[in-house]
Amino acid sequence: MKSRRRIGILLAILGAMIGISAMDGGKPSDEAAYAEARNKMVRNQIEARGVKHPVVLEAMRKVRRHLFVPPSFSRDAYADMPLPIGSGQTISQPYIVAVMTELIDPRPGMKVLEIGTGSGYQTAVLCESGVEVYSIEIIEALATQTSQLLDELGYEGAHLRIGDGYAGWPEHAPFDAILLTAAPREVPAPLMEQVKPGGCIVLPVGDSDQELKKLVLTEQGWNETVVFPVRFVPMTGKAESAQ
Ligand code: SAH
């Protein structure tokens, strides 16, 4: 009887320890659990829906998404949905990040412009895919916080700037690819001037009805493909008044 009670107490302590560590977010045991959640996310949400690019799948397995969401959402970090990141903005659903990264066909040394740094998760996935990222964020509080996080995590391939991404980043143009994670009503004209021949722009376009589009700059001009309907936060700043 006595030993049974002892086992019961031990189990309770063990349960409490697991509970506490799962809340804590930084212990090695949690990292293992998060890594498992990440592998599952890649298998069930991303590969299962047809994303095949090995570099992208590996990057999605690597980037610790739970560090890019507010602590109160760490436990939902690998769920199949966007999450709030403050300032009325959201971190995109993991599948959408994977699709957009696959659409630019990342190769080492490529130069990519990202408009809408937000949490920095897409930025980190791009860095892990071997590309050099120039990223612009219009909300100062988000940009500052994300810049610090990406520094802490050692993403040296990420170059961040606060500002309106409508005009692109001419000092570093031309880019192999431009990726927008906020939706303008129409493709901002200045961005079309900053793509290398053969390069592309991947973006959500539209108002309440948005589509994810890929525009490739061919010798004959722009070649547009519609990927699927999406819902992103609107692009603010000049994009709101430009059309
Ligand atoms: N890629 C981000 C998505 C964040 S949501 C992530 O993974 O977390 C889109 C972001 O675009 C928001 O942070 C928003 O502030 C930013 N944004 C909107 N309009 C912008 C503009 N004109 N220039 C730069 N960033 C903009």
| Choice from 233, 240, 241, 243 to test ligand 1 binding pocket (greatest atom count within 8 A of CB) | 233
What percent of the chain stands above pLDDT 70?
A: 88
Ligand 1 closest atom vs CA 97: 7
| Domain-embedded: residue 45 | no
Given a cut of 80, whether residue 19 has pLDDT beyond it is: no
- The predicted-structure confidence for 67-112, as pLDDT tens digits, reads as follows 999 999 999 999 999 999 999 999 999 999 999 999 999 999 999 9
- The predicted-structure confidence for 102-114, as pLDDT tens digits, reads as follows 999 999 999 999 9
Provide the number of structural domains found in the chain. 1
Give the CA distances from residue 105 to residues 21, 113, 129, in Å, rounded to whole numbers and listed in that order: 38, 14, 9
Average pLDDT of the residues of the chain: 91
Ligand 1 closest atom vs CA 139: 15
* Angle made by CA atoms 141, 145, 147, in degrees to the nearest 5: 115
Q: Please indicate whether residue 20 or residue 181 has the higher confidence score (pLDDT).
A: 181
| Domain-embedded: residue 43 | no
Mean pLDDT of 107-122: 97
Task: Provide the CATH number for the domain around residue 59.
Answer: 3.40.50.150
Residue 193 DSSP class? T
26 CA to centre of ligand 1 in angstroms: 27
Ligand 1 in contact with 135 (CB < 6 A)?
A: no
DSSP string, 45-95: IIITTT---HHHHHHHHHS-GGGSS-GGGGGGTTSSS-EEEETTEEEPPHH
| Domain-embedded: residue 103 | yes
Q: Which domain holds residue 179?
A: 54-240
Question: Which residue among 29, 72, 74, 92 is the active-site one?
Answer: 92
pLDDT class of 211 with cuts at 50, 70, 90: very high
Given a cut of 80, whether residue 1 has pLDDT beyond it is: no
92 as an active site residue: the answer is yes
pLDDT class of 242 with cuts at 50, 70, 90: confident
